[in-house]
Structure formats: structure tokens, C-alpha cells
Amino acid sequence: MEVLEIKKYPDAILRKKCKAVKAVTAQEKRLFEDMLFTMHTFKGVGLSAPQVGLTKQLIVADVGGGAVKLANPKIISSSGSDRMVEGCLSVPERSVEIKRFYEVTVRGLNEKGERVEIEAKGLLARVIQHEIDHLRGKLIVDYLSPWKRLKKLLLRR
Ligand code: ZN
């Protein structure tokens, strides 16, 4: 396993829309393992392929209850809502309070290429939504209101 380089905001790759993978091949399996290893190395709880420079729809997450590896993840149902301050390995030294669904059901392919549905709630549901945002080029800073963005910019000076 290998520690991959994490792309940092404002790297253009973080704004790309990622492509669905046709199948989970040995290459994707290897990538899942390297992404998990990289995520653990930097003490993250989730990571997406664009964060390591690849525009593929792959995400990994681990909030302590076991690793989740998903290709082509799609939220098929959701309920409740919850607010929490989030960080991102690609946006260091920033944290943003974000309202997200409390519970989600996600469909995708696992590391064996099998179609799976995962029911997640709380932190895991949040991390999965955060990583799916990455696959669409969306980042935590996009959740700041224009006023808050301006204030953060001014406070940095
Ligand atoms: Zn992130």
C-alpha cells in the first residue's frame, strides 16, 4: 500500500465531475486500499478519488465501525437533518458548519464489484454525503454564505 498525494484547494481537479467506473477491476481495488491507507495516515474519516488526483467515482470512509469502499455511490433515500462542523483533508485549516441528512441509503458497487446498498446514519451518513459532494466537484467552502466567505477572507489578513 502506498500513501497518495492529497490534492489541496484550489487545485482544479477538485472541481471536476468524476466519471462512473465501468467495473471494479484490480486497479480500482488497489486504489481503494491506497485511498484507505492514505486516509488513515492523515487521520481522516473519508476520502474520494479526486482528492488523490483521479476523476473516478470512488469513495472510502471509516468512522470506526469498519471501512466502507464504494464505486459509483448514489443516495437513493434520505431522512432527517443534522448540523455539524466539518473539515476536509483537501481544505486544511478550514472548518464549516454544514446541514446534511441524518440518515441516508446509498447504492453503489463494493470492492468486489457487487451491487450493494448501505444504510448509514449520523457521522457515517455525513461522511458519505461529503465524499459524494467531492465526486461532483463540491467542497465544504461552497456551503459558506457569501458574507461568511468574505468575513473569513478578511479575518485571514
Ligand atoms: Zn473532503
Tens digit of pLDDT for each residue in 75-114? 999 999 999 999 999 999 899 999 999 999 999 999 999 9
Q: Which residues are catalytic?
A: 131
Q: Above 90 in pLDDT, residue 148?
A: no
In the chain, the percentage of residues whose pLDDT exceeds 70 is 99
Q: Provide the domain count of the chain.
A: 1
Check residue 74 and give its pLDDT: 98
Query: How many angstroms separate the alpha carbon of residue 82 from the centre of ligand 1?
Result: 18
More confident residue, 148 or 144: 144
> Residue 118's pLDDT band (boundaries 50, 70, 90)?
very high
Cα–ligand 1 centroid distance for 91 (angstroms): 7
Q: Report how far residue 48's alpha carbon sits from residue 55's, in angstroms, rounded to the nearest whole number.
A: 9
Determine the Cα–Cα distance for residues 29 and 19; give it in Å rounded to an integer. Answer: 17
Structural domain span for residue 33: 12-153
Ligand 1 center from residue 99 Cα (angstroms): 15
Average pLDDT, stretch 23-43? 97
The answer to whether 103 and 81 are in contact (CB under 8 A) is: no
**Does a structural domain hold residue 2?**
no
How far apart, in whole angstroms, are the C-alpha atoms of residue 113 and residue 25? 8
Residue 4 lies in a domain: no
3 within some domain: no
What pLDDT does residue 13 have? 98
Q: Which CATH number is 95's domain given? A: 3.90.45.10
Q: CA 115 to CA 67: how far, in whole Å?
A: 17
Tell me if 43 is assigned to some domain.
Answer: yes
Within 10 A of 139 (CB to CB), how many other CB atoms are there? 18
The model's confidence at residue 147, banded by pLDDT at 50, 70 and 90, is confident
pLDDT of residue 11: 97
Residue with cell 441509503: 105
Give CA angle at 61 (40, 88), nearest 5°: 70
Ligand 1 centroid to Cα of residue 30, in Å, is 21
Residue 102 lies in a domain: yes
- Which residues line ion ligand 1, judged by CB < 5 Å? 88
Q: Rounded to two decimals, what is the model's pTM?
A: 0.93
Q: How far apart are CA 122 and CA 103, in angstroms?
A: 7
Residue 146 lies in a domain: yes
Cα(130) to ligand 1 centroid in Å equals: 6
Is residue 142 included in any domain, yes or no? yes
Q: Is 7 part of a structural domain of the chain?
A: no
Longest CA pairwise span in the chain (Å)? 50
